[in-house]
Chain A
Amino acid sequence: MGEDTQKSKPDKKGNKNKTPKNFVANPERVERVIINDHEYVSFDFTGTSKLKNINNFDLGIHILDGDGKEEKEPLVINENYNVVTDNLTKKNCVIEDNKIKEISIKNNKAAIDINLKREYNHYLKFIYYIEV
């Protein structure tokens, strides 16, 4: 079986143009802080090629459990977040398919301000999935 998987090389370029593109945000590119009932998250994509000429992205949120493993089920955004505001446009983001939709990017940067529900667990560690 090992032989098979070694030989079946994926097509190197053909794979790449499929939409949508989805990737994990390197935690070094994200800053996150919770103050009382607000959570502030900022993204800096300077130097990454994946978001060239792209004006916005959708955001999915996954949880890292106590053993350092990614939980199967993502954070249910509607159950934890009241309102998500795009800091660049000052407009509220639509939440759909458990994703925060169309967060705008300007000069490779993006930021959101989240109003938290009371039952939200303030100690969760996250992995952010970017979809464009």
Chain B
Amino acid sequence: MDWLLAGGLGDGGVLTWTASEPVRVLVGVLALLALGLALLPGPAPRRIGDRLLELFLWAGALVVLAMAALGPTWVDESGRTETGPLVVLVDGSASMGVTEDGRQRSDALEARLAELVESGSVDGPVDVYTFDETVRSGPPAETDGRGSDLGVALEATADRYLGQQVRGVVVLTDGVDRGALRRSLREAGADGTLPPGLAPALPGPLTLYQVGQLDDVRDLAIDDVVTGGFAFLRTPFTLTANVRGAPGRTVPITLLRQGRVQQKQDVTLDEEGRGEVGFEITPRRVGRFSWSLQAPIDPDDAVPGNNTFPVVVRVVRDRTRVLQVSGSPSYDQKFLRLFLKEDPSVDLVSFFILRTQADMGAGWAPFELSLIKFPYERLFSEDLGSFDLVVLQNFDYAPYFSFNAEELLGNLARYVEDGGALVMTGGDRSFDMGDYQGTPLERVLPLQLGVAGPKSDEVPFRPVLTEAGLNHPITRLAADIASSQATWERLQPMDGLNMTAGVAPGAGVLLQHPSLTAANGEPAPVLAVAEVGRGRTMALAVDASWRWSFSEAAEGRGNQAYLRFWKSSLRWLVADPDDRRVVVTPARDNVLLGDEVQVVVLARDAGHLPVAAAEVGGMLIGPHGSEVPFSALTDADGEAVFTFRPETTGAHRLTAALVSDPKQAGASVFAVSDRDPELSEITPDRGFLETLAALYGERGRYVAPDESTGPLLDDTAAREVRDRREVDLASAPIVALLFGLLAGGAWFVRRRHGAV
């Protein structure tokens, strides 16, 4: 019978019709039409009894069909009581990845979870959630959360099961928690009080299962490196590493730069297993530089990844240190000193030769003189590295350097090659007239010496910009090229020129003589620049640049041309990365793995004005050589902004250049560390969990890692469950059977009397 009714009809159920109103109307109309057809008389007369029987059978069949079309459904609802669920909160933070005795902490966690969920030790439904900084359904897929917050997880549980009873709330964690609950408990515990309401009200008793080794976690780590943010050039600064490990242990910490060991120091950890060690560094160049601090990795180290800490420090120049050496006081020296002395960004050291051996017969006694010895030996040896720029202004070395000229000039050449800057200006003691030919200094000068004919020309002339000079930042005296050229054309003529053998290989001429030629047949160079090794040099073969200052002042123009010329020269010569035409600047020098890094590439023209709509392209080069290309157009401020999300730790280099002029390039670096705060402390916190359990009194329980106590369960916790069963009667076999019998019977009666 149940089969005929598609599963049977229970007690207490109700019949409902599921067809929509239009369907019901349609079915009624169709049924009446069909009945009307059935009433039509057949071709042969029949008995009234047969006629009525046939009509009755057709009507029955139509009723069955119509009822089936109206969607008859038998709905049977019944209520029942079920055991309340057990809620399990599983810690999914990164500290669960800590290795202890060769096994990850998460392994112990999984064992506990399996014991609860799969072993059948707990009857009834189990709802599993993962918590770290947030809460989500299901067990953890990875233990990589950036921090665990048990307080948030408990509050989420209270909200989720509001008004319900659960058999229990089980937490599986190591107790290393970054949330407010743990901090509050610490602070409350410090003054001996644990105020009620500190922890959220839960829908069931709480059991805290702790995982991890409570003692003797072997993890040597560099938790942090304090850099101070930035450092000044040539001023010592300290990288301080905060080291953590076994109390009393002496640990060697190594400072590396580009993979090479720079310094090594031992640090002995205190009774809390902490210590710090500082590495003093004196930066010699400006820019961003990366270092790495390393602690040794023991075979049983719980977190080998936190034994290395990469950092980037930005080195800035507080002031540009300039050494100005003049062989004779002159207007040229006077005006340059005035410029340098009045520039607050310049720290000037001047030495002027006020008297030579030839002047000593003038009859003045030494005590009358306010003269000091020229400390040439110290200046050009031990002090040389302290300067950003050396200006030799009509200075002849020979009367002073004497026997160690080769050594001292060699020092100066190496100083340039190692990143220093040098200017030699003209005069009767400069270039060939200063006998610099064949000296070590000649190899770094932008002009070739050894001129065969006259070593100077004393006919006034007005220098002419070369093609390179039109665009070079040093000779760009105005915002646009035409204005700059016009400025040069109205400046006062020079009084004469130091003749040279022409421009040195690799150097560039910015100003040249309008008619004289050098030994190589090219126009005689007046101003030339060169990049030598990591340094830069400039040769100005005249001694009257002061006229550019005074002549403009005479015309009421101030002295902007002179100031801009020397200011731009200074800027180009010291070559700070931030003064280049393409500047690459990461928003932060040190980032965490997974963080987004924003990089700004600034493009400027020769006059240091921003260039809009310039295409810049570059590469992000990872610590293992991986390359990520990038390109974009600059905006109205000359900036193009790129965003990266580094996937590996270590120093990442950035290079960028103008697509239209690849020589205009910049570079920078930033460091990526995985020093997740979650991993700065990995020892399981038993006190926190015990205190938390105590907050719940009899409804709280703490279970240590080595205990096998079951969870606190509220066996009375239950929930009302309502079952609803629906039987689709239209598809029940009895419908087809009834329809077949009635329709077949009507057909049989009709055929028996010859009707069709």
- Does A associate with B in a complex? no
Residues of A whose CB lies within 8 Å of any CB of B are none
